[in-house]
Each structure stands twice: as structure tokens, then as C-alpha cells.
Structure 1
């Protein structure tokens, strides 16, 4: 495979990914279609067979019902006295009675299609009345001995259907019905001969594709068959018919193979007659459409695979183009000694060669990084002690100093990233060079404007309590202010004798940096252990006084109270950075809450100030915090001074607004925002001022304007409704009737009469 071109490999992969699943899917779907189609067609054929059976049974039932209805009448009583043909022909009245019976039988023949003939035989007589030979002697008519055999299986008072062949050679199914003794005293039998061909029409009305059909009695006698030579023969001798007869199910289907042809047998048993209906189909003919669909699917799959092959070649060429161009470039610019391989193998070998060279370079860089000062310091800050640490820091004692840029957000806004990167380089270089030979120090940048200096010193410096270290840190502070054009604060941790605890000392130095909140920026502060008994302070009394002064608009008293809070913080023996932020956050939050409770729009006061709490958290010193709070309360007092009348002033503004905009569709929530108060407060002011709700006041104002227009103008009521702010007459009429007790038209008419 390594010698085949990459494009060919890629094309083969894409082809397999596309063609193999498509072929499998086509095969599986085709098999499922065939399997499901066979059973679906079998179910459909069985349903057709049942429909045909029901049609045939309904036709037979109709014929039998009319025959029974005729037998229940007294039509046959007319010839009851005449037992012989001679008596029947004795006079005209006797013949007329026989002819009336003959006419009834003719009418019976017309009831259903396919009736060949019918006749009536009076018991113990020597003649029959028939529709095919008229009134004739019994010895001149076909034998009726078969009726005893037919009636042998009769149960109840209904008749029986009996298949037979007439002397004329016509196959019929005869309905044999003896007269009921309960309905008439006449003894005789009515026989209706229905053509077998009519039953065939019924059975084949719903199915046109069967290869063969048969209708047989429960004993196997064939009543109807497409092969007329098999009529009245034993159907169990036909292939697979015995199997159907022995099957106890009322209906079903089965696939069988006969003489290399696959056949579908469907059968259904009649509960009423006990007959068995069987249809035989050629599966190949039934599956013609399914096979055509399967062939179409295979053809479509072949087209898809062909189109996919073309697309695969195109994609393979397009996707492999960058790799082929890269290989050509590599071969043109350097000889890697790789021949007789395709692009993938060539690139693999080339990248392996490059990886080996990179590994060599990487190992060299790792050796140099391990000797670099910054790597050692970073490892120490992460709590990782490398063997090189003892060489870089040979002395027993360590200190960690954090150099933090004051007001770092302001510094970032004043300097672009390139300038800040250059400042970091200068500061780190100067820090390393300022320490004397007895002190081993390394400086790295930690992020967010903080530089970490790990200082390693000996016993002499430890004995002098770090006087030399303080001098160097002071020089670093001054140098940083010169380089950055910005002040810095330095926090120094407690000493340690183990390099493993350097990371803990970094935490201490960072905590010390927070003390510039009280100490101020630009200083050098050392770590001191906190007394665990210090209390968490909060000036609750000052908070209440500030809110009272705020309600009076006494800004000077607020400033004095802020100074008192600042004095308490500065005079505390120890107060944490978190405690200070909590005090000022709480003051700001309580003030905003107080303003909102008094329905003062804080959004208008502090628009453009941004997130107050985030601004407080970004401030470095207590002085800056106090200055921020002074501006904070100053803006509030100025805003309250501009709106001195409170609710009265709001009331005037609300009434004025409604008077100016009553024609418009007023959204009261938006109106409250525009005025600068809450919607609930606005509703309260209007109710106290007018004694009614906002909606009622607006509608009353509109109705008053409408009354003037009804009297003074020639506008129509619809025009007046639009003029005063109603966009349909129905609303205008409803509110006018509410406030005036009458519709606008009545009011206008009343005013016209008085004038």
C-alpha cells in the first residue's frame, strides 16, 4: 500500500465508505421489501377472498330469504287439492290456480341474477310447476329423487343448498325448501336452481389475479371451480387441499411450491354453510410490482454508486492536493533520501525525521531552561523543588517579595500590550541586578501586575534583620516607579528556612499587598501574624445617620460621617481587607435599597457609572474608597436637589403627561419609566391626587374632550372616537355610557335641543 499514490488510496477509502454501506443497505432493504411484500400481498389476497365469500353468501341469503318469504304465503294453497295432473286440468279455474303459482315462481327467478330455473313439487302429486317446462307431469320432468339426499343434512326449518348437474348438462346449486307446516297446511317443496357460473362471478368479483379457485362443501365435494371438469368431484384429491381441509383455522394462507412454481393458497371457511373457499395465486405474478421495485432500487443504487465514484475521485484529488503539493515542496527544497513511496509514506518519514530533529532541539532547550533562573523560580512558586534549586539558592533563608503595580486597571488602560511587555522585561532585569553578591534573588512575572521576587540570604543578613534587603527593595520600588511611570507597592512575607514552603510565602506576600488599602500605595509592608481575637467591625450607627442625612439632603453631614468611618477603620488595631470592602459594599447597598424603597430612580442617578460593587473591589487604597463614596453620595444629593417636591412634583408631571398624550395609546409601565418612578408608585400618586385609578382618570379625560367635540364640532361619532384616543366606536360608546349614563348620540341630541 505504501507504493500506491495517496490519491488512489484516498479514493479507495472514500469509495469503500460510500459504496459498501450503500450496497449492504440495498441488499437488506430489498430482502425486507420481498419478505414484507409477500405477507402483505397474502393478507390482501385473503381479505379479497373474504370479500368474495361474503358477497356470494349475501347473494345466496337474499335468494333463500325471498324463497322462504314465498313459502310463508298461501300462494301454493291454490293447487293443494289437486294431486294429479288430470285434476289440475279438469277446468279453467284449476289451470288458472296453477298458472298463478307458475307466475310466482317466475317472479322469484327475477329476484336474483343467475337463476336458471325453479319449480314447486306438491307432495304425493304426479306433476311439477316449473319455470323451465311449465306445468308438466312428473315423469316428463327430470328426476327429483336427489331431493331426499339433499334434505338428509337439513336442520331446522330453513332450506339447504345442494350442488348438482341438470339433465341439460348445466351445473347448478339448488336451494331446496320444504313448505313449513307451521305457516301452511300445504305439503310440498320449492326448488331454486342457481347457475354455478353465477357463484363463480361472485367468488371472482374481488380477485382477478388468481390462478385457480374452488368452492367445496365440508366433505370435499367441489361446488364451483374454474376447471368445470372437476365440479361435483372430491376436492381433497387436489394438491394441498387435504392439508387445508385438515387445518382447523377458519381462514389463512400458505405458500407452497408445485411443479417448480411458487403458489399462494388462501382459504376461508363459511360459518353459515360450512363451505370452504380456496383461491390459488401465482406468487410470481403477485410479486411483479415488488420485483420491479427491487430492480429499480438496484438500478438506482448502481447509479448512486457510479455518481459516488465520480465524486470520490474528485474529492480524493481535491483532498490530497495539499499533501501532494507539500511533498513536491519538500522534495524540491531538501533531499530526505526517501524514494519509491507514496505521499503518505513520504510525509510520515519526513515528519519522523523532523520529529527526531525537534526532539534534539527540545532536549537542548530543556537543559537550558533547567539552568535558567525563571524556571527555577516558577517551579518553587508551584511547590516543585528541583535539584538545581540548591545551586541557585545556596543560602539557608528565604523571603518572598511581591511587587504590585498600584491602580493596575489604570496602568493597563494607559499602556498597550507591547509597552507593558517591555516594562516587565526592564523591571525583571533591574531587580536581578540590584541585589548584592551576598543576596541571591530571582524575579519573575506572576500576572495581573504582580512580580514575585524570591530572595535567598545567609546568617549575616538574618542577624541584621534584613536591613540590606529593605534597602534593595526600596531601590526596586523607586526604580519601578521610574520605569513604569507608575507607583508600586511591595509586600514581604515572613522568612523561611525551607524552599518547600516558598509557595506558602507567596500567599503571605499577596495578603500583605492588600494592606495598602490602609497603609496607602507606594510602600513596603512586612508580614505580621494576625491576632485571632480581632473583631469584625461595622459602623451600624453611621449607616443610619447617613440615610437620615440623605433624606434631608445634608451632604456635609454625610461627608463628616464618612470621615468618622474612615477614622474608625484607621484606628482599629487590625482590620482585614475583606472587612473594609464589606463596610463600603454594605453602605452602597443599603443606600441603593433606601432610594428604591422611596421610589427614587437609581438608574437615572448612576447612569454611566457601571457596576458599583466591581468598582469598589478594584480600588487599592482606603483614600480612594473614601473619595469614591464622596462622589457616590454627591451624585445622589444633587439628583434629589433637582427633584425637591417629591410626590407632588411627580403628580404634576403625571397629570401633564396624560393631558398631553391622552389621544395616544399610553403604556403606563413605559410612562412610569419615562417619569422616573415605579408603576405602583405612580398609581398611588394618581389615586391620592384624583381619587380614581389611572385608567379611569384617562378615560374620564377622553370623555370630557369628546363631550366638547359632540357639542362644538360637526364630526361624526366615529371621528370623535378616534380624535380622543379610541380606535373603535364600541369602546367609545361603552366608556361614554359608563361616565355619562347615556350613549354619545343621545348626549348630542339632548344638547342640541337645549341650544
Structure 2
């Protein structure tokens, strides 16, 4: 090739400075682009895992809680059966003939147990070597003898606290999986004399839940050999994915199926032994944003400029990068300690779960760093009366009141030398767990009563709401804390129905025929059925639950209009809160006063039932359809934003307004997902970062305070000392003492 202009020859062009700079820029642009692409591919799966964790908790919680409640009811019904007089009388018989006759006489109680449960195909009761098998479908009674090997196998299973399993022999005969539940007789002690075995068919899991398209949930048996679809009840024996998830930490995985990525997450239920597996379809995740590569390309020139700056200031930047790496490691380890979802989640288990063993209760207390009580525990419940009026106040005023209630309780308990832990339900009740480390001269219940009276008088002076409190029964074991809580709740219901206000004690309350445990049981059973109906959007189940409640109330000889109105107002509050939970969005709080006025206009049981049915049905119609697949979890967005801007003046109100969401709803969701309030989480981040910066001797306390969001140094020092016990300067002296470097000249 012949060049027309000699000045344009390749050799001369390469010698020009501008061409050399252009070539360097091209090479510099290519290298960062390739690097960014590779890093993006490496972090893609990690991003999907984080999004899977954020989405799975919100998706699984309502269904997991419903199944756990079902298993808990089966266990409680079975436990009640083992304590009936007919079963207890068998224990006094000595010969096999007397035992066999006694078992046959217990058939009526067995039939009542079958009626209380659902989906059970048969109930078997064995005592030593005599037994009775009852088929609930054809009414046959068959006396059977259990072989010694089978009896020893059941004894070993119950000793290992394994209550649920799939009976392979019955499965082979029936042609479908038979799920069995066993409990020892008697229910206490280490040497069982007999057992009760309830056999269920797979319809136990046919809930008909409405799930987003492509999403599935399975209940996995305790031995992990079978799992059941919660929509169809169909059993699956291929559990390889479950085995793989159990080896993961956390128990989640991204699996490629038919060329698409699916998310799997396994949730354990220690109280029941079952596990629950969730599968999210590809549409549930945020689609890849191809436009980000254009942004990366546009930033490459800035990257080159930054590279030059790094070369000129390498030593200083390297030192800061090293400090940031250490900060990331420290922050990651601390977050792992905090996130095993904090004290509130553990307190919720202790207060409301009836399936914890004594060892489980002690283990939960140790996880929460709560001391074991040598002299017992006691629960008190504080309730905001006229809750519908309370909700009309601004969210800021509601939050200030809840904060004041919590801090006032803790400070009063501390002044009186008591150990107290507060659990805020986020609704109208606040639970106080008393832990008595010193017996003292006064009984436990009197100590709690004195503290509750003091708190009641304090709150009446400063808050514009009526507050009532009830003290449950004292208990010695951690797994009995829920009993004390239930006694306190029942006492509150009784006293508030009578129009009383103040502080009440369960032990001072005699059995009241006007508000008996039978009515309390009817209401709680109805709440369970209504919760299931709302989750599955099942109007037929909703109507059936209200119809059964009406029939149960009509059988009570002391039924009165005020009692009916009180009962259905409690159910109205339950429906109101459950709909918010199912819809993941708040309902206008101004609706409650209107509903209260409507209820007062109805003067008979039948009209009140119709009104409640119409209200619940209308709320079901307004329930928001399942969230669009791929929508990023709101709380995940907020956490990312807080991590980026915790050193600035940010507020939950501003964040909620920017997202177009109700502040009360966002606050409630944040606490449910993270285990602490937004302000506590922000404070935790700021203090952790401040403690890291205190390791740098070149920074003053004032500079560190500004770096974590406190313009006023005195405020920073006061807050730091309140939560860490020492000032920032004292913390630095204790943890980062100054040293002399022999290689430096001072």
C-alpha cells in the first residue's frame, strides 16, 4: 500500500503523543470493562441469595404459623385426652383383662378426640400389651396385641421426643401416606405405661392456600423422607433438595431448572419437628438491569482518573482500605450475633408457644442472654383500652407512647431490684416477663403486683389513655411461661368485659359463670378458623366459623347481650389486624370507631353475627391481590438505604413518604423482619461504626461523632455512655491503648 501523505504513515502516527494517550485510554477502558463484567457475574448468585432471603421470610410466615397452630392444637387435644378420667382409671388396673376392658370403655373419649381433630382416619390406644384400635370411618373396634419389639420402638421414639412420623406399614395397606402422631400415657414421667397414636390422611395438608403463580410450599416430615404440598396435600418422596438445603447455611439455594433459576429456602420449626420448604419462581426476583453496564462504561473515565490518584496516594489509601476490610469483617460477625432474630423473637416464642419442652425453654433463654430464674417467672399484660381511639393519633405520638411505656416499665423494675423484659406486640398489648432471681420475703405474685400498681399510677399521670394490666400465675419452668401469659390475657378479658379498669391478678379471680373458660375457648377456636379463612381468602370457611360460634353461644345458659357484643368486638379487632397482616398494607384506623358504632346498633345474637359476617366478607373482597412477582422487598430497600446514609439525618417518616407507604405499616414490617425498631437499628449501626473509628488515634471524639451522624459532640458522648457504659474516650483507652513504635522517631 502506498501512502499519499508521508506525514500520515503508521510509524509517524504512533510517534505522536495524542495517539499514544488515545491508545492508553483504550486499553485502560477495556480492562475495567472486562473486570466489571467478571465481577458482575461472580456477584450475581450472591445477589439472588440475598433477594431470596428477603422475599422468603415474608412469603412463608403466615402459612408456617398456620401449620404450627394446627400441630399445636392436635398436641393439646391429645394431651387433654391422656388426662381424662377414663384413661387415668386404666392406670389403676393390674390385669390385662381389666386393662383391655378399660380401653374399650374409653371409646367415647376417643370419639370426642377424633371430632376435635381434622383429617384423622383412626385412633389407637395401647396399654402395656393390651390395646384397642378404633376406625373412625366404619366404627369398628378391634382388640390388638402390640409386639414387644414394636412397643420398645415406640418407647425409644418418644424418649427422643419424636412425635410425628409416616407409618410405613399402614401406608402400604392404605395406598396413601398415613401420617401418625404419638404421645405417651401418662403425659409426664420417664416410664410410659402406654401410648395414644392418631393416624391422619394427606388431606391434613389440603389448605387450598392462594399462592402467587409458580410459588410452592411443602411441609417436610421430621425424618425428612417425605414432604406434602400445602395446596393439594400430595406427598413427594424425592427429598434430595431438602437434604441439600440442610447442608447449607443458611438453608437456601438457587437451582437451575429447565434453563431458569428457582429459589429454594428451608425453614425449621423446632417446636413441632417439621420443616417447611418454599420455592420461588424466576419471576419473583428482580430482573437483570442491562442499563447498568452503560452506567459502568460511562464511569470508566472517572475510574482512570481515580487510578492515577491511587498511584499518587497509594500508601495512605492502602491503609484506609485495610481499615475498611477489618471493619467489614467485624461488622459481619457482629451482625451474625444480632440477627438470630433478636430478643423480641425469642420472647414471642416463650410467651405464646405451647410446644416448648423444658430444655427448649432454657435453651431459648440462653440464646437471648436472659438469666435462668431460680425462683420462677411471671407474665403481666398491659393493655391499651379503647384501642380504636388510640389508632387515631399520629404514628409519631403512638411510637412515643410505646417507647415511654417500655422505658417506664424497665426503670421502675430496676428501681425495685427486679429483672424485667418487655415484649411489644405492636398492637394493643405489651407483655412484661418478670424473672425472679431472689425469693425475698414477699411471694412472687405480690412483687409483680406491687410493680404493676406503681407502673399503673405512673402511666395514669402522663398518658391520655386508659391502661389496664393483668398478672398471670407464677411458674417455675421456662416452658410454662406461656401458661402465665394466657392466664393474664384471660383475666384481662374477664375484667374488661365487666367494665373494670386497673390492675388485676389471676390468682385473685374466682371462676365466673358469666365469663367462663368455655366462652374463652369458643372465641379462640373461632379466631383460629377466621385466621385460616383470611389467609386462604375462603368465604365458605369464614361463614362456617361464625355459624359454629353462634351455635356454641346459643348453648350457653347465661348468654347476655353485653357478653355477645364484647365477644364480637374482640373478633372484629382480630379480623381487622389479620387482614392487615395478610394484605401487607395498613387499613385506615378511622374505620374502627365507625365499626364500634355500627356494632352498638345491633341488639340480638343473630343480627350481630350477620353484621360480623358482612364486615369480614367485605374486607376479604378488598384484600390486595398477591404482590407482583419480582417486586423487591421494602425492608431490604430500607436496610440498604440505612447502611449507606446512617451518618446523615434520616428518619423512617421520610423514607416511608418517599416510598409512598404508610409510616405505621413500614415500622411494623421493619420490626417483624429485623427484630428491632428502626431507631434501635440505626443507633446500633452508628455505635458499631463509632467503636471502629475509635481505633484510629488521629481522629478526635468530635470528628467521630460527626462521622456517624451526631453534630453535637455532647449528645454523642451521652448516647455512647448510655449504651456502652463508658464514654468514647474511656472506650478508646480500654481497647486501643497507645503504643511506641521503635521504628518511628517521636
TM-score between both structures, scaled by the size of structure 1: 0.28
TM-score between both structures, scaled by the size of structure 2: 0.28
Which structure is higher in RCO with an 8 Å CA cutoff and minimum separation 6? 2
